[in-house]
């Protein structure tokens, strides 16, 4: 297994990703789409998710393919980014056919970034426009770090961000991950130098510092994020709910909705390996899985385990890359890994 040429989820042929953000808002939206409708499913392990249209992704639901997936900041306000994507798809005549009508299918998930130092005193919800702009920007190349849905993301100790990574398997199948990392937990070990995901790093894709050689790690729950939010908003706020890591894993292997759901479920291992602690009651941790169906597997059931493993590896690496590429901006509550 080696990364694809871009080391992005768009190494999966046909997959496109677009970002839109507002530096004053300190928030944004990321959209994944494809040149044709694709199969998708989802698995939620966080205790406080915010979602739209995820029920239709269950294997027993009748809709087979969707048109786009949305990751957004903005908490519940950010779910309106899906409406902006629907507007753009409708304008292109795309969507699920119902007689002469077409209904674009755009599931989405959000993270909480309302208390990150950005201005949130809007008169009109900005996320519908951000969703449309992100869809219209969709391309094979896109920015990581402080961009799209990762614009206002924070981890326990450092700025979070948008990350991505890929792997090409021996059989030629490509697997990739896209993540907006805004967790309750930390992405680095104490000292903020070493990434929890370091054992899975390929080359120096997030600094090449290597694993932390200290023992007894993981017991400290110190969080600059909680301290900063309490200072910003007051001690009565419930900062344990101001979190969430939302992600997409994708492949060109032809998978059913049930197989996509298994891919999404196993990919959560990547969150657990890269964030400590993970899947907390106040996190909305969620993973979508998408299949373009371009490559038919000779033995899909037998090969699914390898795909799941690759997706988890990609997601761990993508989370570290999200923090690695985050850049400092005016008004930040937390430092960046690259500029502590």
**43-57, 72-86, 197-211, 305-319: lowest mean pLDDT where?**
43-57
**235 pLDDT more than 60:** no
pLDDT of residue 47: 85
**304 pLDDT more than 80:** yes
311 vs 221, which has greater pLDDT? 311
* Sign of the C-alpha dihedral computed for residues 29, 45, 304 and 52 taken in this order: negative
Digit-coded pLDDT (tens) for 107-151:
999 999 998 989 999 999 999 999 999 999 999 999 999 999 999
Q: What is the mean pLDDT of residues 10-37?
A: 97
pLDDT of residue 71: 98
pLDDT of residue 239: 55
pLDDT of residue 188: 96
Residues with Cβ within 8 Å of 310's Cβ and at least 6 positions away in sequence, in order, are 1, 167, 169, 175
Percent of the chain with pLDDT strictly greater than 70: 97
What is the average pLDDT score of the chain? 93
Q: What is the mean pLDDT of residues 302-307?
A: 91
Q: How far apart are CA 135 and CA 96, in angstroms?
A: 18
pTM of the shown model = 0.95
Q: What is the largest CA-CA distance in the chain?
A: 63
How many other CB atoms sit within 10 Å of the CB of residue 55?
11
**247 pLDDT more than 70:** yes
How many other CB atoms sit within 10 Å of the CB of residue 221?
12
Q: How far apart are CA 100 and CA 117, in angstroms?
A: 47
Digit-coded pLDDT (tens) for 264-284:
999 999 999 999 998 988 788
Q: Copy the structure tokens of residue 229.
A: 């939010």
pLDDT of residue 219: 82
How is the chain split among helix, strand and coil, in percent rounded to 5?
30, 25, 45
**180 pLDDT more than 90:** yes
237 vs 18, which has greater pLDDT? 18
pLDDT of residue 109: 97
**300 pLDDT more than 70:** yes
**240 pLDDT more than 70:** no
pLDDT of residue 32: 98
Contact 263, 289 (CB under 8 A): yes
pLDDT of residue 238: 61
Q: How far apart are CA 187 and CA 307, in angstroms?
A: 24
φ, ψ at 20 (rounded to 5°): -145, 140
């Amino acid at each position: 297994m080696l990364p694809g040429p871009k080391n992005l989820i768009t190494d999966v042929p046909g997959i496109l990703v677009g970002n839109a953000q507002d530096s004053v808002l300190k928030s944004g939206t990321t959209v994944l789409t494809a040149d044709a409708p694709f199969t998708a499913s989802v698995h939620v392990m966080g205790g406080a998710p915010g979602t739209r249209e995820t029920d239709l992704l269950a294997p027993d639901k009748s809709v087979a393919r969707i048109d786009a997936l949305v990751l957004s900041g903005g908490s519940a306000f950010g779910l309106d980014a899906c409406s902006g994507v629907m507007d753009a798809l409708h304008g292109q005549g795309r969507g699920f056919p119902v007689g002469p009508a077409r209904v674009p299918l755009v599931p989405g998930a959000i993270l909480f970034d309302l208390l990150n130092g950005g201005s949130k005193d809007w008169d009109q919800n900005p996320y519908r426009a951000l969703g449309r702009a992100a869809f219209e920007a969709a391309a094979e190349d896109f920015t990581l770090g402080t961009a799209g849905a990762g614009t206002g993301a924070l981890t326990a100790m450092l700025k979070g961000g948008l990350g991505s990574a890929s792997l090409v398997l021996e059989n030629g199948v490509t697997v990739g991950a896209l993540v907006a990392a805004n967790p309750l937990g930390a992405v680095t070990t104490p000292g903020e130098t070493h990434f929890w995901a370091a054992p899975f790093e390929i080359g120096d894709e997030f600094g090449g510092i290597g694993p932390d050689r200290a023992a007894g790690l993981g017991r400290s729950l110190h969080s600059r994020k909680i301290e900063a939010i309490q200072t910003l908003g007051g001690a009565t706020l419930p900062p344990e709910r101001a979190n969430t890591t939302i992600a997409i894993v994708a492949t060109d292997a032809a998978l059913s909705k049930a197989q996509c759901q298994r891919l999404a479920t196993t990919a959560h291992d990547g969150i657990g390996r890269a964030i400590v602690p993970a899947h907390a009651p106040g996190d909305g941790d969620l993973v979508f899985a998408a299949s373009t169906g371009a490559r038919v597997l000779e033995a899909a059931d037998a090969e699914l385990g390898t795909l799941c493993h690759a997706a988890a590896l990609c997601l761990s690496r993508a989370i570290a890359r999200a923090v690695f590429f985050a850049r400092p901006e005016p008004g930040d509550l937390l430092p960046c890994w690259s500029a502590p």
